[in-house]
Amino acid sequence: MNNESHENHQGHKNHKHSETEHIGPILEVRDLSVTFGNQEVLKNVSFSVNEGNILAIIGPNGAGKTVLLKALIGLTSYDGEVKWRSDIKIGYVPQRLPETESLLLTVKEFLILKSKHLFFKDKEWLSAINHELESVGLSSTILERQLKNLSRGQFQRVLIAWAILGHPNVLLFDEPTAGIDLAGEDTIYNLLRRLHQDRGLTILLISHDLNIVYRYANNVLCLNKERLCFGEPQKALTNEQIEKLYGKNVFYHHKH
């Protein structure tokens, strides 16, 4: 399945992206370390991501996965080197938003916040919003609903729509399916794969689910404060690695 998606993507890239194709990775990370106070959260993590690839980041709770994503886009300070290729545009999907209750924001109002305009001139942006809602499988009737009244799955899709507004070429997902039931989880990953195929996006995603890693990712980064493995899932993610990462009984360990 993985190979198939990769080929599809390559085909797409030859059509649309041939003139912007660059040699070398789209992201290169060297010796990335993050400390909070005197607590070491990440230690000397190195890896790279090629254009159009899906990198899955896995690790137990508290392994520093979210911090890694935040460091990659400069939301937290770090030591070491994070080198993005210069032509990239990043869409970021956080796990949750800290404050949606008190502001009564509707889906439409939330999506408008990404517009560069500080007020007015929203027509183009609104049609872009409608388009992206469609691509994440939501109908435009959801526009007038308040964020706080959405289901977890709908909310996740709205966050994804937010991220892909304005055509980024890299997406960062912080646990796209946290708190979503299994059926919903499946469709969210299908959605991600479709975005990946249709748009040639490079995707970095945090996941708890090893099945997802095998099915969708080109590469996997195992993290527990430091890098424990990196490479193609089939090669890098050996049983010993998994045990080392999560301890034994790994498949029953999916706590959130």
Partner 1 sequence: MSLFIDTQFLLILLAGIFTALAASFLGVFVIVKRMALASDVLSHVALPGMGLALLLNYDPMLGAAAFLILAALAVWAIEKKTTLPPESIIGTFFVATLAIGVLLVPDEELLKSLFGDLFAATILILTIILSRRLTLSIIASDLAKSIKARPDAAYLGFLVLFALNIALGIKLIGSLLMGALMILPAVAARNFSWSMKSFFSISIILGVLMMTTGILIAKYFEFMPGPSVIITGIVFFIISLLFKRG
> Which residues of this protein are in contact with partner 1, per CB under 8 A?
70, 73-75, 90-92, 94, 97-100, 102-106, 109-110, 112-115, 118-119, 144, 146, 162
Give the relative orientation of helices 152-164 and 123-135 as an angle to the nearest 10 degrees: 130
Shortest Cβ distance from residue 149 to partner 1 (Å)? 10
1 vs 118, which CB is nearer to partner 1? 118
Q: Give dist(CA 77, CA 100) in Å, integer.
A: 26
Shortest Cβ distance from residue 234 to partner 1 (Å)? 32
Q: Give dist(CA 144, CA 131) in Å, integer.
A: 16
26 vs 212, which CB is nearer to partner 1? 26
Q: Please give the C-alpha separations between residue 38 and each of 34, 41, 43, 45, 64, in angstroms, as whole numbers.
A: 10, 9, 13, 18, 15
Cα 65 to the chain's mean position, in Å?
Answer: 11
Shortest Cβ distance from residue 215 to partner 1 (Å)? 27
Q: HEC profile for 49-97?
A: ECCCCEEEEECCCCCCHHHHHHHHCCCCCCEEEEEECCCCCEEEECCCC
85 vs 96, which CB is nearer to partner 1? 96
Residue 247 DSSP symbol: -
24 vs 74, which CB is nearer to partner 1? 74
163 vs 222, which CB is nearer to partner 1? 163
Q: Give dist(CA 237, CA 230) in Å, integer.
A: 8
91 vs 153, which CB is nearer to partner 1? 91
Shortest Cβ distance from residue 205 to partner 1 (Å)? 15
Token pair of 148 as six digits: 């706080």
Shortest Cβ distance from residue 158 to partner 1 (Å)? 12
Shortest Cβ distance from residue 94 to partner 1 (Å)? 5
Tell me the pairing of strands 27-36 and 39-49: antiparallel
